[in-house]
Amino acid sequence: MGMRKLLLILFLLPVIASAQSPMYKLIGKKNCQILDSDSLPTSIYSFRQLNSCRYSGNCVTVRRQSDSATSTFAFINGFVDTAGIKSFIGSSDAYVKYFYDQTGHGDTMTQTIIASQPKIATAGALLYKGGHLCIQFDGINDYLVKINGSRFEDENCSFFAVSNRTGGTDFAPIVAEGLYFNPSPGQAMFLRNTTISRASAATYGTSYIQADVGSTTTNLSLATGIFYYPSFLVSDGTSTATGSSVGVITNSANPSVSMGAYLRASTNFYAGQLCEAILYNTDRRTERTTIEANIKSYYGL
């Protein structure tokens, strides 16, 4: 084999190697990491492209208020096509109808009720927080709900969410409901905001663990929750609460996952921004600091 052919093959190998193949493990692994981790999340909702090796689909479907027309937008150079969105909406307000899961699992978040769609633009201007595109929940009736059933049956779970709470009632940027934890059945939530703090919690029955997320309501914050025994909560990389009685999810009946509302209590809605949510149906505590470092670096937290 000539030297030129050998060099060409070596150049092409990282491109043709599948993310699932042995060759990927040898050559392409670094490039296919998500959040600098080798683990594939259960669901990925973000305006940045986090899984380009396995997912080439869309990011978001936007509805413009002026005529209720919708258009779907993919990623360009690692970020959602903001130029395309702005061209489509013109000077109109705009809302999110679909927020697509980047894992390839098809766990799309959606809202078909026009009055309950979270906002993404006002008068043609996209909504940013700390320089990052987010969706805005009004704390009154906005929410998104996952189309497919949850993938958290009989599993541990972990979450990483970038958000900013500005008000609302006793709730929540992203929620899993209808889950059951050992030792007692009850109801679990990935993020739970109380009226007195920007808090995250896992709950069962009347018990919960809680941690303040962010010192003010003016900045984005990273909330991390690992729900296993012992469960704990992390605010911007610092562990703030531990719960010894929150354990492995068991006996769950296809629970739903939603953004912006606790669907079992129609008066509980979240007011604030959500920029990114990463969910795992596994205990990711061994990679937590690596994942958090990636997120904090990107969002400047």
Considering the domain boundaries, does residue 29 fall inside one?
no
- Of the CA atoms within 13 Å of residue 285, those in its CB half-sphere come to 15
Considering the domain boundaries, does residue 138 fall inside one?
yes
User: Is 50 exceeded by the pLDDT of residue 118?
Assistant: yes
Tally of domains within the chain: 1
Three-state SS string over 214-228 comes to CCCCCCCEEEEEEEC
What is the pLDDT, as a whole number, of residue 295? 94
The confidence band for 284, taking pLDDT boundaries of 50, 70 and 90, is confident
User: Is 60 exceeded by the pLDDT of residue 250?
Assistant: no
Structure-block tokens of residue 125: 């201007």
259: domain CATH number is 2.60.120.200
Euclidean distance between CA atoms 254 and 107, whole angstroms: 13
For the segment 28-52, the average pLDDT, to the nearest whole number, is 85
Euclidean distance between CA atoms 176 and 104, whole angstroms: 20
Considering the domain boundaries, does residue 127 fall inside one?
yes
What is the pLDDT, as a whole number, of residue 8? 53
Considering the domain boundaries, does residue 13 fall inside one?
no
3-state secondary structure of 112: coil
3-state secondary structure of 184: coil
Buried b (16+ CB within 10 A) or exposed e, 101-140: bbbeeebbbbbeeeebbbbbbeeeebbebbebbbbbbbbe
What is the pLDDT, as a whole number, of residue 2? 64
User: Is 50 exceeded by the pLDDT of residue 63?
Assistant: yes
Q: How do residues 80-117 score in pLDDT, each as one tens digit?
A: 999 999 999 999 999 999 999 999 888 899 999 999 99
Nearest to 157, CA basis, from 185, 205, 207, 191: 191
What is the pLDDT, as a whole number, of residue 171? 54
Distances (CA, A) of 52 to 20, 33, 56, 78, 231: 14, 9, 6, 8, 31
Most confident range, picked from 3-12, 46-55, 218-227, 229-238: 46-55
Contact 48, 79 (CB under 8 A): yes
What is the pLDDT, as a whole number, of residue 187? 42
Q: Which residue has the tokens 């006002």?
A: 122
The confidence band for 255, taking pLDDT boundaries of 50, 70 and 90, is low
**What is the domain range of residue 56?**
34-299
Considering the domain boundaries, does residue 108 fall inside one?
yes
Q: For all residues of the chain together, what is the average pLDDT?
A: 75
What is the pLDDT, as a whole number, of residue 261? 78
Maximum C-alpha span of the chain: 71
The confidence band for 268, taking pLDDT boundaries of 50, 70 and 90, is confident
Considering the domain boundaries, does residue 194 fall inside one?
yes
Euclidean distance between CA atoms 29 and 242, whole angstroms: 34
Q: How do residues 176-224 score in pLDDT, each as one tens digit?
A: 665 444 444 444 444 443 433 333 444 333 445 555 554 455 678 888 8
Considering the domain boundaries, does residue 21 fall inside one?
no
Considering the domain boundaries, does residue 89 fall inside one?
yes
What is the pLDDT, as a whole number, of residue 243? 64
What is the pLDDT, as a whole number, of residue 258? 81
What is the pLDDT, as a whole number, of residue 155? 61
C-alpha distance across the termini of the chain, in Å: 51
What percent of the chain is predicted at pLDDT more than 90? 36
What is the pLDDT, as a whole number, of residue 119? 98
Sorted by sequence, the CB contacts under 8 Å of residue 200 that are 6+ apart come out as 190, 191, 192, 193, 210, 211, 213, 223, 225, 233, 235
Instruction: Give strand pairing partners of 274.
Output: 135, 163
Nearest to 137, CA basis, from 260, 267, 220: 260
